[in-house]
Amino acid sequence: MGQPLDDTALDTIFRTARTYNGYLDKAVSEDQLRAIWDLMKFGPTSANQLPARLVWVTSDEAKETLAACASDSNADKIRKAPVSVVIGMDENFHEHLPELFPHTDAKSWFDGNQELRKASAFRNSSLQGAYFIVAARALGLDTGPMSGFDGGKVDQAFFADQPGVTVNFISTLGYGDPATVYGRSPRPDFAKFNRIV
């Protein structure tokens, strides 16, 4: 059974963590990228689907390719960030279920049902994208998740060789520059959006 985290950890992951629009001139190593994956892979997904497919964009050439798929303001963020991450979703995730969920024939639940696979891939890759953000923060890094891109262009540039994989969202990654953070947007109290029944 887990133990409650202390206030410092809760601040790092949630309360004082922010979405960054720019980063300090400080490199992020491949070991750090692997460490993020090695944490986020433990986050739960339905039947251990793990449909997210990540592309870690680190080279100048890859950054330019991704920036060309994004809106003007996001393109600049991508070019300047130490790393950007394309979080994709694999609608053919079920092909891996015999390995990932060996307790039963889960693959058969999805065979021939593309609509169910698409919904499951979107839902569970979105969860994995959130785990990516939490894992990065837990390891002392910052993120800038974003929409504002042409999904078709991203798919062609980064997933053309992987049928069934499409982009969910993009995030920048690095050591956030506090000067690039906007004022905190409202976070309502429990009563506004919650009910206990």
Query: In the Cβ-directed half-sphere of 151, how many Cα atoms lie within 13 Å?
Result: 10
Token reading at 117: 């696979």
80 in any annotated domain: yes
9 in any annotated domain: no
CATH code (residue 85) = 3.40.109.10
Distances (CA, A) of 26 to 21, 22, 143: 15, 12, 14
7 in any annotated domain: no
**Rg of the chain over CA atoms, in angstroms?**
18
133 in any annotated domain: yes
pLDDT of residue 184: 94
3-state helix, strand, coil in the chain (%, to 5): 45, 15, 35
Cβ count near 170 (within 10 Å): 28
pLDDT of residue 19: 97
107 in any annotated domain: yes
Q: Are 159 and 2 in contact (CB under 8 A)?
A: no
Residues of the domain holding 170: 30-177
CA dihedral angle for residue 191, residue 147, residue 126, residue 135, rounded to 10 degrees:
-90
pLDDT of residue 42: 98
Cβ count near 162 (within 10 Å): 14
138 in any annotated domain: yes
pLDDT of residue 1: 83
Encode the chain (197 residues) as per-residue pLDDT tens digits: 899 999 999 999 999 999 999 999 999 999 999 999 999 999 999 999 999 999 999 999 999 999 999 999 999 999 999 999 999 999 999 999 999 999 999 999 999 999 999 999 999 999 999 999 999 999 999 999 999 999 999 999 999 999 999 999 999 999 999 999 999 999 999 999 999 99
* Total domains present in the chain: 1
Name the one residue in this structure whose structure tokens are 């689907």.
Answer: 49
52 in any annotated domain: yes
Instruction: Give the angle subtended at the CA of 55 by the CAs of 11 and 179, to the nearest 5°.
Output: 40
42 in any annotated domain: yes
